[in-house]
Amino acid sequence: MRTFRNTYIPITSIIVAIFVVAAVVVFTSMRDIDRGRQHVADGLERKAGAMLMFLSTDFRTELVSPRWQLSRLEFFLSEAANRGQAEYLALLDFDGTVVAHSDTTMVGAPHIGWLPGKDELDAPPIRRRRVTIDGHTLQQYVAAFDVHPAMLCERPPRRFGHRMRPPCDIEAVAGRLSELLRRPVDLSHPTRLYGVVALDPTEIERTFLLSRDRTVLLGAILIIVGGAAIYFLFVVSAYRSTQTALANMRTYTDNVIESMANGLISVDADGRVVTINSRARALFGLGDAKIAGRRLDGVAGIEPGSERAGLDLVLRGEKDIVEVEGTATVAGEKIPVSVSASLLRDEDGERAGTVLLYQDLREIEALEAELERGRHLASLGRLAAGVAHEVRNPLSSIKGFAQFLRSKFSPGSEEERYSDIMIEEVERLDRVVQELLDFAKPVVAEIRPGDTNAIVEDALSLVSEDADFKNVRIVTNLSDGLPRILVDSRQVRQALLNVLLNGMEAMTDGGTLTVKTRIVVPEDGAIAATAGERPEQVAIDIADTGDGMSEQELAKLFEPFYTTKPTGTGLGLTIVSRLVEQNAGHIHVVSEKGKGTTFSMVFRTTPGESNTDSS
């Protein structure tokens, strides 16, 4: 049987899974946002670095140029700031005084903003800081560079247009630098200057913020979609698990219902069949017909009466449970049944239907009849034993006097013939008395494994001469390798002997007596059913070709003192039935008027052992 695991998925599992997905999405989104922020900062710094590099290069070039003009430097700063979309580009003295600016009005004024301290001048080469000027936030970049006229003039001369640039004059370069700084320049030391560029990060940060918002929105969407997907997967998994569990439970329930020994029918509140098992179908002869939806009365109706009234109370919901015995008619045959009806209610306590269990009482009634017959036979046996003991002594006396009188009469006289008749009748009565005693006395069976064919052959050897005398041909068909039967061999031989003699007496004009041994299989019909459908059993069949019996005669066959023979006592087959039952066997008789009779005796076997193996 399959086991059913709990298919419930805790809500905490779903929440944890969603949180994991959310954490992954948040982490990924924050990483992307940080990367975007760093990308913005790096872009601004690269742009500022390029402008500062151009400023340094152009400033040094102008200083050594023979065409030096301060206005040209200021024009360069203005154009570079406009083209680079910078707020301003400036050149500062070491004390922060503006010496050149993209806005010429700022020249000579102190720098408004931030300058790195002396300990921050060397590394990194470009320093940045966010500053606020007149309520406007700017990103300011500062680079320090040293200018020494002697070092500038040490560079090799370069072509200037179509001519070579004239040699550099250190004094002239120093004068130009002094003009720019508006102070004398010490030629023995380099002059520290600052290049400053201020960029407006508003637009690029606005783009970054839009990208960030899209990233956050996308992350939120991913969290929602991922959470919904996880929840959906959990729901689908739980649904499939539940469906599987329900299917397994339905299969298990169907197997339980189909395996029930009794018939089961369930009906809805309207009395229409919902469920019916195979046992109920077989009981009421329904076969494979479609039953669902049909009225109960048309499927398994009970004949009207007080019992039916009790069932109707449950079917109407006026009573919860009732057990009754009634009669059902199936194919014209009246079948006694026991019905147990129970009311079904839904979760609201309303009537949902009825479940009915049907038990076939034919077997029980047969067992009760058999029990009553056994009691009757026991009582009759005790009575017969008492009568036999009382009658036997007088019979012995009568027989003795008859024999005495016979010796007094002349041979061949009428009196001697009468004496012989008296002696024969007394002997017949004595045989009847002996049969009564055999029938009445308790017999204990000594059960041992026995060879079926050997027992049959022993019995046949005792009747072979009698069969020849009565012109009866005996035909045997004994199977090889039969399992050994658990019986009292002496009692089974006696039962076989009685049946063989009975069969020969039924063939007054001679005939054929067939004896067969075989293994009983479930397909053997009535015999298999009588034997409980156990394949590990052996059957002994004895068939004659006599006149056979009618159904009425067959029904009374094993009753004591019932006989169809003029000289029979009616106890022979009764004793046969008793001997077979004492050996845990079963006897079955098939007979048809004018076609003969077949006796089949079925006995249990020793598991795993056969005659062939034992030999």
Q: Which residue, 440, 461, 482, sits at the end of a domain?
A: 440
Domain interval for residue 382 = 366-440
pLDDT digits (tens, 9 = 90+) for 223-271: 787 777 777 777 887 788 888 888 888 888 888 877 777 888 888 888 7
User: 526 with 568: CB under 8 angstroms?
Assistant: no
What would the two tokens of residue 213 be?
């918002």
Q: Does a structural domain hold residue 234?
A: no
Do residues 395 and 452 both lie within one domain? no
Q: Are 556 and 577 contained in the same domain?
A: yes
Domain end, chosen from 421, 440, 459, is at 440
pLDDT at position 70 is 72
With H, G, I as helix, E, B as strand and everything else as coil, classify residue 388: helix
| Residues 353, 372 within the same domain | no
Cβ atoms of 66 and 166 within 8 Å: the answer is yes
3-state secondary structure of 196: strand
> Which residues have C-beta within 8 Å of that of residue 121, sequence separation ≥ 6?
144, 192
Q: Are 291 and 299 in contact (CB under 8 A)?
A: yes
Place of tokens 């004024």: 109
Do 452 and 593 lie in one domain? The reply is yes
Segment of 34-48, 340-354, 511-525 carrying the highest mean pLDDT: 340-354
pLDDT higher than 80, residue 455: yes
399 three-state secondary structure: helix
**What does the block give as tokens for 491?**
């009692």
Question: Counting Cβ atoms within 10 Å, is residue 34 exposed (0-12), middle (13-18) or buried (19+)?
Answer: exposed
Which helix (H) or strand (E) segment holds residue 11: the answer is helix 11-64
Domain presence at residue 377:
yes
CATH number for the domain that contains residue 83: 3.30.450.20
Whether residue 179 is found in the same domain as residue 285: no
> What is the pTM assigned to this prediction?
0.42
Which residues are paired to 477 by β-bridges?
A: 516
Q: Give the ranges where 138-184 is alpha helix by DSSP (H).
A: 149-153, 170-181
User: Is 413 within the bounds of a domain?
Assistant: yes
- Range of lowest pLDDT (128-137, 455-464, 596-605): 128-137
Asked if the model's pLDDT at residue 448 lies above 50, the reply is: yes
Query: Which residue, of 162, 181, 207, is where some domain finishes?
Result: 207
φ, ψ of residue 279 to 5 degrees: the values are -65, -40
Percent of the chain with pLDDT over 90: 4
- Residue 226 domain flag: no
**Tokens at 108, concatenated:** 């000579």
pLDDT tens string 468-502: 888 889 899 998 888 889 888 888 888 888 888 88
In a domain, 216, yes or no: no
Same domain, 559 and 606: yes
Please state the domain count of the chain: 4
What is the DSSP track for 251-265? HHHHHHHHT-SSEEE
